[in-house]
Structure 1
Amino acid sequence: MTSTTPPEIAARAESLIPKFQLTRLLNQDQAGRRISLLGTIDSQPAILLAERAAFATDNDHLTTFSTSLSSIKNLGANDIYSWFLAHSKSTSDQPPDLKLNLIYPCTDSHIKKYSAQGLRVVTETPEIYASYIRPFMQQKREQGRLNWVFNIIEGRTEQEDVIYREHGDEGFLLLPDLNWDRKTIPSLHLLGLVERRDIWSVRDLKKTHITWIKHMREKLLDATVKLYPELERDQLKLYIHYQPTYYHFHIHIVHVALEAGSTQATGKALGLDNIISQLETIQGGDDAGMADVSLTYHLGEASELWEKVYLPLKEGRKVELT
């Protein structure tokens, strides 16, 4: 699937990569095939994420990394996020061997997210959720971090990439995730975004939403196999992140062959079918839901939730969200 981003936007996005100046390596993962670099573009902070077969991570190679790229092609741009295909060598007679994501300008939260850090397992009870996590989510939503999501929902960006859409109070849309190169089927990664803004995460799902969730599941699967006829429904898996990266409800649709890295691991990903089953069997009326159960997941030690909520709770200190 090829993006039809307006040429002037694509040209601007593509001009940013050679201007990237390395500050430091944040992380490397997936057996050394993915690196996260912190740097600057025109004196503003930026994060550059890149994937390939293997990366040399000595400082000499990293310093010249962004200027060594050729044939940079923008796939899309939305708010502070841009994504590209590129060649790591000067020759361009072969298919691009790099997938790049650029976050510019980036925030301290982005830097923490992509930095190497220790992990902690936490259990979020209904009481912890109501007292601390829900107010934390409210703060994040008020900081404008969902602008890129609202750009898509309101039709300002990425409309050429929308695969399927239903409008209305229970509307939703399907489009490629920015981490997919949009052509390699075994690594397919799509995103289902809901239009409604009252469901921030899996915690907001209730028994009354079961019919709607099942409808979305069927439509997302149908639209995916229709666009990619080489796929069958049982080659796809649907999951939800908790904690999610951003607090607007969304569903990940991926090929079962996609390497199950940390984003699909236990402690991060919840299978959509398992959530539906849990909602169907939970005790209570239509208003009973995922806010009434305890959820166990992992957090990075540099994350705000660990530093502001769970570490103080562990040490018996007062939680300060401000």
Structure 2
Amino acid sequence: MTSTTPPEVAAHVESLIPKFHLTRLLKQDQAGRRISLLGTIDSQPAILVAERAAFATDSSHLTSFSTSLSSIKNLGANDIYSWFLASSGQFSTQPPDLKLNLIYPCTSQHEKKYAAQGLRMVTETPEIYAKYVRPFMQQKREQGRLNWVFNIIEGRTEQEDVIYREHGNEGFLLLPDLNWDRKTLSSLHLLGIVERRDIWSVRDLKKKYIEWVKHMRDKLLDSTVKLYPELERDQLKLYVHYQPTYYHFHIHIVHVSLEAGSTQATGKALGLESIIEQLEIIQGGDEAGMADVSLTYHLGEASELWEKIYLPLKDGQPVEL
């Protein structure tokens, strides 16, 4: 977009930025991508909001993107996943301003997950879950897609990152999510991963597990604020995804102010407190649970669940897994 500001006015206002003298940071938001600064210009109060510009998406810029990075520092690697910090500038002295995740080698399903696609809202009844979705989950678990999770649980990778751990059938561990830069507390993102392998998703939680889930919640919160004393328990929120990205039960622990778009939106995230409350009020014995209720969520039109299950059901066609 071409500026309509007269040249003499543009030159004047552009000269103001170098005159800005910082008083203090007011706020950091959008997962650390925007800062609001209080300061002065010529002894008059001023606020400067700085936000990282959108990535250039033309072919010439994208072709040279990976080779233009400097100060690339690996944060960790597990199976086909690696994550890094890097600087977008050419000088090694520039602080890292990019968080990179690398999936190599990736699959067609990874490509579909990360591509732009339309969304659909679906309602998964207990019957649809039992007849179609549960067998679908079983297929995915048998394809080796959980190797990176098992590497962590079995102590082969990322052990230096484990913040808290309890062993046993009701064991679990806490460690940073690969999407967090591990330094910006306002965008803190940790994962609580259970050790047991019979709980694939929220659907496997039953009334008999209520005290265990509460115990996990308390330990995850306590361990987080112990490691990061700048935080208090009520500055954290815990949720699970349904559908999750992978079928091994895990809990997301994030800063309450983290803005993470669709990953925390209705149709994707279920608050852990709400799950506990629902388990407590579900009618039935100890075996009653989240498999007995309908769940509504959104799916990408390129996702296998949509293509293989919900689209055929919508069109009255047979489902073939």
TM-score range, shorter chain: 0.7 to 0.9
Between the aligned partners of 2:186 and 2:142, the Cα distance in structure 1 is 37
- Partner of 1:197 in structure 2? 197
1:215-265 CA-partner distances (Å, limit 9, x unpaired): 000000000000000000000000000000000000000001111311000
**What is the identity percentage for the equivalent residue pairs of Structure 1 and Structure 2?**
87
- Partner of 2:147 in structure 1? 147
- The number of equivalent residue pairs is 274
Secondary structure of 2:56's counterpart equals coil
Secondary structure of 1:193's counterpart equals strand
Between the aligned partners of 2:131 and 2:55, the Cα distance in structure 1 is 44
- Partner of 1:131 in structure 2? 131
Between the aligned partners of 1:313 and 1:243, the Cα distance in structure 2 is 18
Alpha-carbon distance, 1:53 to partner: 4.5
Which amino acid in structure 2 is aligned with residue 311 of structure 1?
Answer: L
Calculate the aligned-residue CA RMSD, in Å.
Answer: 1.4
Alpha-carbon distance, 1:54 to partner: 2.5
Alpha-carbon distance, 1:95 to partner: 1.6
1:91-132 CA-partner distances (Å, limit 9, x unpaired): 122320000000000011100000000000000000000000
Between the aligned partners of 2:160 and 2:183, the Cα distance in structure 1 is 16
Between the aligned partners of 2:246 and 2:260, the Cα distance in structure 1 is 21
- Partner of 2:306 in structure 1? 306
Which amino acid in structure 1 is aligned with residue 264 of structure 2?
Answer: Q
- Partner of 1:21 in structure 2? none
Which amino acid in structure 1 is aligned with residue 141 of structure 2?
Answer: R
Which amino acid in structure 2 is aligned with residue 127 of structure 1?
Answer: E
Between the aligned partners of 2:223 and 2:189, the Cα distance in structure 1 is 13
- Partner of 1:83 in structure 2? 83
Whether 1:102 aligns to 2:88 is no
Secondary structure of 1:127's counterpart equals helix
Which amino acid in structure 2 is aligned with residue 201 of structure 1?
Answer: S
Which amino acid in structure 1 is aligned with residue 152 of structure 2?
Answer: I
Which amino acid in structure 1 is aligned with residue 99 of structure 2?
Answer: K
Between the aligned partners of 1:271 and 1:53, the Cα distance in structure 2 is 32
- Partner of 1:11 in structure 2? none
Which amino acid in structure 2 is aligned with residue 265 of structure 1?
Answer: A
Between the aligned partners of 1:256 and 1:211, the Cα distance in structure 2 is 24
TM-score by length of structure 2 reads 0.84
Q: In terms of mean alpha carbon deviation, does 84-93 or 150-159 score higher? A: 84-93
Task: Give the 5 Å matches for 1:47-196.
Answer: 53-196=53-196
Secondary structure of 2:247's counterpart equals coil
1:56-104 CA-partner distances (Å, limit 9, x unpaired): 1111111100010011000000000000000111112232000000000
1:258-286 CA-partner distances (Å, limit 9, x unpaired): 11311000000000000000000000000
- Partner of 1:38 in structure 2? none
- Partner of 2:48 in structure 1? none
Between the aligned partners of 1:53 and 1:200, the Cα distance in structure 2 is 39
TM-score by length of structure 1 reads 0.84
Between the aligned partners of 1:286 and 1:53, the Cα distance in structure 2 is 52
Between the aligned partners of 1:114 and 1:235, the Cα distance in structure 2 is 30
Between the aligned partners of 1:214 and 1:148, the Cα distance in structure 2 is 26
Structure with higher Rg: it is 2
- Partner of 1:261 in structure 2? 261
- Partner of 1:281 in structure 2? 281
Between the aligned partners of 1:54 and 1:233, the Cα distance in structure 2 is 34
Which amino acid in structure 1 is aligned with residue 213 of structure 2?
Answer: I
1:134-168 CA-partner distances (Å, limit 9, x unpaired): 00000000000000000000000000000000001
Secondary structure of 1:192's counterpart equals strand
Between the aligned partners of 2:144 and 2:233, the Cα distance in structure 1 is 36
Which amino acid in structure 2 is aligned with residue 301 of structure 1?
Answer: E
Whether 1:229 aligns to 2:229 is yes
- The gaps in structure 1 that reach 5 residues or longer are 1-29, 34-51
- Partner of 1:16 in structure 2? none
